Amino acid sequence: MAGGYNRAIVETILPAVWDQDAAYGMKNELAPDADMPKGHTDKKKGATFPAHLADVRYGWRSADLTLIERQSLLLRYGLDWGYDEIGASRGVRKQSAQQATERAVGKLTAHLNGEPYIDGYDHHVNVDEV
């Protein structure tokens, strides 16, 4: 996997897990503006966006997520539901739906970085710090 993942990258790319056309509407933050002149590019230093997209799709299939976490990711990022809608569909409070979704994003991010996720933290920890 390409590595160097954070929550923002994962959340940005997650909709493309279920909707391949979603990737076409995503802005590659590293790409120059469309109206800028084209220059020489070093193919060895290509954009990480396609690799991140492939990794997040793989991570969705391989990460150790619970059924509730998977449902939360699908409803939030695949169907663009709000936390209140997710909570109502599961019969839980909005806050519980948000917590499950945030935990799932954290676990997926940690998985993509090859690091363990410690529940209750908003971030993953580096293996060297444990």
Q: How confident is the model at residue 45, as a pLDDT?
A: 53
Q: Is the pLDDT of residue 130 over 50?
A: no
Q: What is the mean pLDDT of residues 29-41?
A: 58
Q: Is 91 left (phi over 0), alpha (psi -120 to 50) or beta?
A: left
Q: How confident is the model at residue 106, as a pLDDT?
A: 94
Note the pLDDT of residue 62.
Answer: 95
Residues 6+ apart with CB under 8 A from 122: 7, 102, 106
Task: Say if pTM beats, i.e. exceeds, 0.85.
Answer: no
Q: Which two tokens stand for residue 19?
A: 């909707």
Domain boundaries, the chain: 7-26+48-129
Radius of gyration (C-alpha) of the chain in whole angstroms: 16
Average pLDDT (40-51) is: 62
| Average pLDDT score, the chain | 81
Least confident residue range of 14-23, 49-58, 113-122: 113-122
pLDDT category of residue 4 using cuts at 50, 70 and 90: confident
